[in-house]
Structure 1
């Protein structure tokens, strides 16, 4: 059987005006997210998860949950938001959920997103717009992202015997407070988490306070 004829992927006229050095520079800027370590431990290992891994996990989890529960969401919009969700951490670093600086983390992250948006090799013209929606919006897609973004580190803690919680001296009430909003957004996930908080506390992974 003869091989398929190659298909030209680019518009030659447009491509002649794009500097591939700029394109590859932007791709390496994105690669820097792999160097940002989070506080969660990867299951079955002793190493910390990085933010790029979390972004992939978040995208896959949101996609799966949206399909399984037949949620009325725009999948393309949802997946784009999950992939951009942590990009600001390239400049700002990861801020622990229970850290005092948590409320100010968005300032440096927003500046980092503006820098990436301005990169000459960036082809995502609405990068800032999408990031802002996942950060401050109230759409169904944003709500689902926020639920799953809290679910995943919670799940990793349960499956590493509360290692991050123990490292940080985290209390039952801190975790319950961080998950409280899920009660209205996704009751079935919230009810499961309440049971797991009680289990984790009984195991000594969370301080009973």
Structure 2
């Protein structure tokens, strides 16, 4: 698979993953379909939109790829009106959220580096890309955002993935392996932190 096709495929998976995590949280808050759609879009597109604004990267991603808001709208209808989907426990939000975090962190870092942003700033933009949608989702849903909670690792997982991507670019001539490597580090760190109760601060 060529790099542009790989990036598009990962963007597709990441958007769906974050949208589903947003829908699960909105359902947990007993929102109507309009609320579910809004929270799903904010979660899926929030980080990328902020990144594009900071980098002056136009047009903003979801504007030039209208298929993604349309897909989220169709998913919203399913979540809102199919009882079995509405019964999905909110705890399952951890997996899609981790997948979205990994994908968008690395793709945000890759775009920033491609646009000539210095390494550490590019990694921070990757972290912003991966975390801001979830942060906005949690604030709107009156939750303390994952990124600010002591209970498990979150932003540090994203930063580790971003740095892994950057380091792997020295060993590979294309970004395909570094993207998959950085994404895997982020997702695995996030899931392991939840499973083993890993924290930056214990008390």
What range is the shorter-chain TM-score in? 0.3 to 0.5
**Greater helix proportion:** 2
**TM (normalized to structure 2)?**
0.34
Q: Which has the higher contact order (CA 8 A, sep 6+)?
A: 2
TM-score normalized by structure 1? Answer: 0.33
Q: Which has the larger radius of gyration?
A: 1
